[in-house]
Amino acid sequence: MEKQYLVNDFKPGESWRVLKIVGEFVEGTDTLHDVGPAVSIFGSARTSHEDPLYKKAEEIAELFARNNFAVITGGGGGIMEAANKGAAMANGVSIGLNIHLPLEQIPNQYSNINLNFKYFFTRKVMFVKYASAYIIMPGGFGTLDELFEAVTLIQTKRIKPLPVILVGSDYWSGLVDWIKLRLLGENKISPDDLEIFQVIDHPEDILKAVQKYVIL
């Protein structure tokens, strides 16, 4: 059985494993280098087909694809599947960056460009390197990880600013209020940092917010 705890498994003399990591970077950049303007869409893999959020993610992705954006997801189920499906319905570029996991992550059928990753950090680079915007649908720890990764990179000026859009006022309001109350209120961040992300509910408004920053 393949070992699951890949980072912990590094041992002296196993520098050969670095070549596998480099290989993931090479395959990713070779595949995506000419993808053009794209949005990375994140959200829970546990979202069912009957959930209104599934349909909303599908609608958002279809709208972006019809406006000449590629759509990038984590390649799995739930919100990721919905976004890849929406892009495919619009005959757009639908990209799935799948990760090997013991649970949940089964590649969906709607991506027309597929990449498979063993390491989260190489996959993360692909999400941010080729995205013109991050669209964050409701999700769990993985979604929060991607959100704060992007916010941190923008805050520390490691990447150019890009729209980071939280979709769903009801879902995100508690987190946003906590950020304002605790992080800003206790001087852990500056007021300008609150401008890194925005909360938007309607697909057309999300598209307009991204188009303000992106020249096609």
Total number of domains constituting the chain: 1
CA-to-CA separations, 22 to 28, 29, 116, 118, in angstroms, rounded: 10, 11, 14, 12
Give 115's strand partners: 97
Bridge partner residues of 133 (DSSP): 39
* Residue corresponding to tokens 């209104």: 52
- Measured CA to CA, the distance from residue 148 to residue 156 in angstroms comes to 12
| 3-state secondary structure at position 101 | coil
Question: Cα–Cα distance between 175 and 186 in angstroms, integer?
Answer: 15
Q: Within 10 A of 41 (CB to CB), how many other CB atoms are there? A: 29
* Cα torsion 100, 64, 212, 164: sign: negative
Report if residue 4 sits inside a domain. no
DSSP 75: S
Q: How far apart are the first and last CA of the chain?
A: 46
The answer to whether 61 and 87 are in contact (CB under 8 A) is: yes
Q: Do the domain assignments include residue 42?
A: yes
Lowest mean pLDDT among 2-6, 33-37, 98-102, 106-110: 2-6
Residue 120, in any domain of the structure:
yes
Is residue 54 in some structural domain? yes
Residue 215 placed within a domain: no
Domain assignment of residue 182, yes or no = yes
Task: With respect to residue 10, please indicate whether it lies within any of the assigned structural domains.
Answer: no
pLDDT band at 107, cuts 50/70/90? confident
So what's the pLDDT on residue 1?
Answer: 46
Q: Does the predicted model carry a pTM greater than 0.85?
A: yes
Per the CB < 8 A criterion, the answer to whether 169 and 201 are in contact is: yes
What is the per-residue pLDDT for 7? 59
What per-residue confidence (pLDDT) applies to 38?
98
Query: In degrees rounded to 5, what are phi and psi of residue 86?
Result: -60, -45
Spatial distance between the Cα atoms of 46 and 173, rounded to a whole number of angstroms: 21
Domain membership flag for residue 154: yes
Cα 43 to Cα 145: distance, rounded to the nearest angstrom:
11
Residue range 154-182, pLDDT digits in tens: 999 999 999 999 999 999 999 999 999 99
The mean pLDDT value of the chain amounts to 92
Contact status, residue 69 vs residue 209, Cβ threshold 8 Å: no
| Cα gap 44→46, rounded to integer Å | 5
Domain encompassing residue 146? 17-210
Which of 116-120, 144-148, 188-192 has the lowest average pLDDT?
A: 116-120
Element spanning 204, H or E = helix 203-211
Residue listed under structure tokens 């680079």: 125
User: CATH no. for residue 173?
Assistant: 3.40.50.450
pLDDT of residue 214: 84
